[in-house]
Amino acid sequence: MASHLVNGVRYYYEERGSGDQVIFFGHGLMYHWRIFEPQMEYFAAKGFRCIAIDWRGQGQTEGGGTLDDYSMYRLGADAYQLLSDLGIKQVHWVGVSMGGMIGLRLYPKHPELFLSFTLIDSSAGDAPELLDGYRQMAEGYLAYGLIQPLQEGLDAVFYTPKMAERYPQVLAYWHAYWTNADRESLYKAIIPVIDRDDVTDTISQISVPTLIVVGVEDMSTPPAKSEAMQQLIANAQLHYIADASHMSILEQPEAITAAMAEFIG
């Protein structure tokens, strides 16, 4: 575990391994670095240096500031600065949902940073059809915390119904995190993702090897969005994860690790 001051904010990150090649892990909204524990352990044992960040206002990274400070462009700049300060010039970027969206916005500014992309349950587009529902959930969370209807709504967004019986302890862990997190900071993290711009027009610039992974039952960034990205990114691979929704990395961690191992090495 480590922390580092980045653009005025103390960022928390976890590090495993010490290889020459670096894998950077960016988590999805309302989570933190721990979603990547199995993948970090696997790749560290294979000789990679693995770094997983907690985005601003999430996990153990400080919050504060305005909504602009939580924009995905700002978070990408934070990640770039952290890696630069650590002396890291190139990474395999692995992003779940929001973590992938941040990478897609950082790439045009710093393509030299990227050795490869792994985009898990992510999207280049915006999601106008989901805005009202997600905004109501965010405002409800800010006002009341993790009340039962909100918990049920979040679970329906993130997981298939099988998650509760498959990994009840994992589900309980994230419920506790949402209960105890700083609600204002997490709210500020949520809104820029809801209001994100569409970067579909820029992703054709991506020239590094790209793996796109999506849960077959993902309702938040459904397979059609992953298929659209595959069409626009040269030679991108698309891998479907069965029996998984938006947090396929938590529902099917072994399948995610296997797909990444085949892709990254």
Confidence of residue 1 (pLDDT cuts 50, 70, 90): confident
Q: Which residues contact 53 (CB under 8 A, 6 or more apart)?
A: 11, 12, 13, 24, 25, 26, 27, 33, 61, 79, 82
Q: Give the model's pLDDT for residue 131.
A: 73
Q: Give the model's pLDDT for residue 79.
A: 98
4 or 127, higher pLDDT: 4
Asked whether the beta carbons of 256 and 39 are under 8 A apart, the reply is yes
Residues 45 and 130: their CA atoms lie apart, in Å, by: 40
Q: Give the model's pLDDT for residue 236.
A: 98
Q: In what order do the strands lie in the sheet with 91-96?
A: 2-6, 9-16, 49-53, 22-26, 91-96, 114-120, 210-215, 237-241
Confidence of residue 67 (pLDDT cuts 50, 70, 90): very high
End-to-end CA separation in angstroms for the chain: 25
Q: Give the model's pLDDT for residue 64.
A: 85
Q: What is the mean pLDDT of residues 140-151?
A: 96
Q: Which residues contact 48 (CB under 8 A, 6 or more apart)?
A: 17, 19, 21, 22, 23, 92, 264
SS3 184: helix
Q: Give the model's pLDDT for residue 134.
A: 86
Q: What is the mean pLDDT of the chain?
A: 96
pLDDT tens digits, 20-50 = 999 999 999 999 999 999 999 999 999 999 9
Residues 78 and 152: their CA atoms lie apart, in Å, by: 33
